[in-house]
Amino acid sequence: MDDVAVSAPGREACVRLDAENPLASLRDRFRMPRDVIYMCGNSLGPVPVGVPERMRRAVEVEWTDDVVRAWSSAGWHVAPERVGARIARLIGAADDEVIVADSTSVNLFKLLVAALRKNAGRKVIVVERGDFPTDMYVASGVAELLGGEVRMVRPDERAGAIDESVAVVALSEVKYRTARGYDMRAMTRAVQDVGALMLWDLCHSAGVMEIALNDCNADYAVGCGYKYLNGGPGAPSYSFVAKRHQADLRQPLTGWHGHAAPFAFVDDYAPAAGMARLRCGTSPQFSLIALEAALEAFDGVDLKAVRVRSEQLTSLFIDLFDAHLVSRGFGLVTPREVERRGSQVSIAHAEAYAIMQALLAKGVIGDLRAPDVLRFGLAPMYVRCVDVFDTVAALVEIVDGRVYERAEYRQPGKVI
Ligand SMILES: *Cc1c(COP(=O)(O)O)cnc(C)c1O
């Protein structure tokens, strides 16, 4: 990379920035995959160091020796609440406002139904075009089930679309494709000003920035366990319900684990007090245990400092983009204003698919969002400035050498 027209840090400068990083040692809390640059923590986080030993104990001690007794003796039964309390501290909630159970899609279903029942008389669910598809798909399923209506709006239409017919607005705090972020406080207020409820999806923000759900007066939230929380493939998701909504919360999946007395085995349903009523069936213990051990990577970590590092990484990527990638046919998808973006940089290119295949072959792991967006998740606890530099350098080589034209990189159908 020898473009001289625009000044951007060189590789040595990046090495220096990493040496000065006050959070540099946090990378040692992860087993980073060997011989690759990992830019995909926004899809699946790497393994935190405490997880393998904790999983071994879960199998070899708890399951092997305790067997069914482990539901009490090893605390398996209360794991959804216990792990929820750990996550609560990362998202500005009280310990008893968060519970871990099911997938994000399922939790969206439970909370959107609860919101429509709470705001009875109103029928509209507002979602935003370009948000993560499952959020919109689930909203349409809920609307069909309850005789509601989904109002799908573009960001520029949002102001006019949120009126007194709206029961609930569901939005990602940071968009998965663009990394565009919201002012959670202002948005929550605007939604509540017309009497609607606010449901935040934190999948792409929790773990990489400070989140203050209660300070912002959020009503509901969901988020996933396997992205920046590093809980492992298919890790369960969490739900947040503000204390003021818990007593009359009516979610539709009334399974036995959400019953007030699950082991009384009575015939009639009565919801548990508090967040436990969001449980449905038996929880996946190994997944919960992996997530719990993974969350230890956040012990003592100041998310304000994590956000500072995140801004440094994304700003560096954009500086390098300006210096080396604009001239090579790439467009910036992520907002330039630092306060309007999450911890990811997305860039577009007409040859995005083949470029990503070539990049993967070089050992740089990012991903593609069809048709033309290349995403790079810059997880601030382990991604280094030098990784950002090397990623951009690899993109330059791929384009300048027309590596993406090779047939092997043009075979369709790869997942990332
Ligand atoms: C990753 C993600 C999901 C994932 O949903 P699952 O049901 O856990 O597969 C949902 N919503 C958003 C915004 C996401 O980024």
Share of the chain above pLDDT 90, in %: 95
Q: What is the CATH number of the domain that holds 317?
A: 3.90.1150.10
Report yes or no on 2 lying in a domain. no
Let me know: does 250 contact 114? Beta carbons within 8 Å.
Answer: yes
Residue at 312 is within a domain: yes
- Quick check: 414 pLDDT over 90? no
Residue type, 21: N
Pocket of ligand 1 (CB under 6 A): 103-105, 132, 134-135, 172, 176, 201, 203-204, 224, 237
Nearest to 397 by CA among 363, 364, 369, 359: 359
My answer on whether 116 and 241 are in the same domain is yes
Question: Are 131 and 31 in a shared domain?
Answer: no
Is position 34 annotated as part of the catalytic site? no
Same-domain check for residues 281 and 144: yes
Query: Which of 270, 298, 326 is the endpoint of a domain?
Result: 298
The pLDDT score that the predictor gives to residue 412 is: 84
Place of tokens 């605390």: 75
Cβ–Cβ under 8 Å, residues 169 and 117: no
Q: Does 219 map to a domain? A: yes
Question: Which ligand 1 atom sits closest to the C-alpha of 237?
Answer: 8
State pTM to two decimals. 0.97
240 has pLDDT over 60: yes
| Residue entry with tokens 């008893």 | 96
Calculate ∠ Cα 150-161-93, nearest 5°.
75
CB atoms within 10 A of CB 73: 12
Say whether pLDDT at 108 is over 60: yes
Which pLDDT tens digit goes with each residue over 208-236?
999 999 999 999 999 999 999 999 999 99
Q: What is the domain count for the chain? A: 2
What is the sign, positive or negative, of the torsion defined by CA atoms of 274, 58, 203, 149? negative
**Which tens digits make up the pLDDT trace of 11-37?**
999 999 999 999 999 999 999 999 999
Q: Give mean pLDDT, residues 279-298.
A: 98
Indicate if 288 and 220 belong to the same structural domain. yes
In this structure, what CATH number is given to the domain that contains residue 102?
3.40.640.10
Cα–Cα distances in angstroms (integers) from residue 363 to residues 34, 349, 359, 360, in the given order: 10, 20, 7, 5
Tell me, yes or no, whether 59 lies in a domain. Answer: no
| 143 and 242 belong to one structural domain | yes
Mean pLDDT of the chain: 96
In this structure, the answer to whether residues 198 and 131 fall within a common structural domain is yes
pLDDT tens-digit map of 37-49:
999 999 999 999 9
Q: Is the separation of the CB atoms in 219 and 245 below 8 Å?
A: yes
What average pLDDT does range 68-75 have in this prediction?
97
Q: How far is the CA of 186 from the centre of ligand 1 (A)?
A: 24
Residue 339 domain boundaries: 11-50+302-409
Quote the ligand 1 centre to 6 CA distance (angstroms).
Answer: 38
Q: Write down which residue in 242, 269, 298 finishes a domain.
A: 298
Establish if 63 belongs to a structural domain: no
- The span from the CA of 259 to the CA of 249, in Å, is 13
Query: Is the predicted pLDDT of residue 5 greater than 60, yes or no?
Result: no
Assess whether 224 and 167 both reside in one domain.
Answer: yes
162 and 144 in a common domain: yes
Over residues 355-368, mean pLDDT: 97
Shared domain for 364 and 227, answered yes or no, is no
Q: Are residues 27 and 112 in the same domain?
A: no
Mean pLDDT within 146-163? 92
* Strand, coil or helix: 154: coil
pLDDT at 371 over 90: yes
